Amino acid sequence: MTKPIDTVLYTGKTHVTGGRDGHARSSDDRLDVKLSPPGSTGAGTNPEQLFAAGWSACFIGAMSKAAAKLQVRLPADTAVDAEVDLGTNDGGYQLRARLSVSLPGIDRDVAAAIVEGAHQTCPYSKATRGNIDVTIAVV
């Protein structure tokens, strides 16, 4: 059971037409992208790429907070490479994800603690936990 939100910090609003062969625009016009199916040669991105980018950005923010609790500063070249697979099972669609986290110059044990802390607090990690296979590795 999920806990209700006490305070809404932000609401992202988009309008999408045409599905995977369509167009997405945010209510503030800061996002304006053509969509195309994964693996196609069409111009545009796809929902899996958008999800991977959003999760990566959010995860770096969560790592910053986890690092601060450990009195560590994230390096400027901190990076997350995300891979989101779209596949099928039992006749339905399923996602699977891998996050590869680079924290140059940070001790491996400290990096692992930062990543674990981030995975516990990142909203994308919470949303996917128990719903899809997720692998997170410090590289």
- Domain containing 121 — which CATH number? 3.30.300.20
- State the Cα–Cα distance between residues 43 and 18, nearest whole angstrom: 14
On whether both 11 and 27 belong to a single domain, the answer is yes
On whether both 87 and 35 belong to a single domain, the answer is no
Number of domains, the chain: 2
What range does the domain containing 87 cover?
A: 47-138
On whether both 103 and 81 belong to a single domain, the answer is yes
Read off the tokens for 25.
């625009």
On whether both 76 and 134 belong to a single domain, the answer is yes
Residue 86: strand pairing partners? 95
pLDDT tens series, the chain, 139 aa: 778 999 999 999 999 999 999 999 999 999 999 999 998 998 999 999 999 999 999 999 999 999 999 999 999 999 999 999 999 999 899 999 999 999 999 999 999 999 999 999 999 999 999 999 999 999 9
* pTM of structure: 0.94
From residue 18, alpha-carbon distances to 28, 45, 94 in Å are 20, 13, 21
